Chains A and B, each alone.
Chain A
Amino acid sequence: SQTIHQWPATLVQPVGSPLSLECTVEGTSNPNLYWYRQAAGRGLQLLFYSVGIGQISSEVPQNLSASRPQDRQFILSSKKLLLSDSGFYLCAWSVWTGGSNYGYTFGSGTRLTVV
C-alpha cells in the first residue's frame, strides 16, 4: 500500500536559521509531489509541485525552495527563515493515470514556528 512520510512533526527555529523538511513516498512510482503551507485558520497554499526528478514548479515567490533528488523524495528548504515562514507544512502525492486523477494523499504535516 502507498504511504507518505513527513518529518519532523514539530519544529521551532530562530529567525535567520536554515530549514530542511523531508517527505518520502512508498508504494508508488513517478508520483506528482506537492508542498503546501497552511497558516493558522487559513486554507492550504500551494508552494511547489513536481512531476518528476529534478522538475520543480514554484507557485509563490518566497523565501523557500524545493528539490526532488529521487523519484519518491521531496525536500523543502530555506537558507534563512523569516517570521512569516511559520505555519503548517504539508507534503502530498498524487498519480495521474490515463489523464485521470484519484485524489491526493497528504502527510501528517510539520508545524513550523519561527521565533
Chain B
Amino acid sequence: SQKIEQNSEALNIQEGKTATLTCNYTNYSPAYLQWYRQDPGRGPVFLLLIRENEKEKRKERLKVTFDTTLKQSLFHITASQPADSATYLCALSNTGKLIFGQGTTLQVKP
C-alpha cells in the first residue's frame, strides 16, 4: 500500500539556521508533491507544490526538492524564525486525491 514517511521526532533548530525536513514515500508514483503548514487547532495551509518533472521549487525562504528516483522530497526553510514553528505536512497526489504524511513538528528557538 502507499506509504508516506516523515520524521515523527520534532526538529529543534536555532533561529537563523536552515531547517530541512524530509518526506519519503513508497509504492506510489505521484504527479504532484505538496507541502503544508499546520498550526495547533487549525487547518493546514498550502505552501508549495512541485510536479514530478520538476527538481526544485522556491518561494521566498522556502525551497522544495523532488527526487522521483529516490522517492524523496526535501523541504528547506532558510533563515528560520520562531514564527516558522509549526507542523509541516508532506502530501502526494495523482488523480485528485491528496494523501498526507503524519507531519514533522519544527521548533525554532530564538
Contact = CB atoms under 8 A, between A and B. Distances in A.
The prevalent SS among residues of A at the interface is strand
A43 B91 CA distance: 10
A96 B103 CA distance: 25
Contacts of A100: 51
Interface string A21-65: 000000000001010100000111010010100000001000000
B34 A46 contact: no
Contacts, number: 55
Interface residues of A, number: 26
Nearest to B96: A32
The prevalent SS among residues of B at the interface is strand
A44 B42 contact: no
A49 B102 contact: no
A17 to B, nearest CB: 24
A103 B34 contact: yes
A34 B98 CA distance: 9
Contact of A46 (B32, B49, B99, B102): B99
Nearest to B90: A43
Contacts of A7: none
B19 interface: no
Contacts of B42: 108-109
Contact of B102 (A43, A94, A101): A43
Nearest to A96: B96
A44 B36 CA distance: 12
A104 to B, nearest CB: 6
B46 A103 contact: yes
A90 interface: yes
Contacts of A51: 96
A44 B46 contact: no
20 contacts: A34-B97, A34-B98, A42-B102, A43-B100, A43-B102, A43-B103, A44-B44, A44-B89, A46-B97, A46-B100, A49-B96, A88-B41, A90-B43, A92-B98, A94-B98, A101-B49, A104-B44, A106-B45, A107-B43, A108-B43
Interface of A: 32, 34, 36, 42-44, 46, 49, 51, 59, 88, 90, 92, 94, 96, 100-109, 111
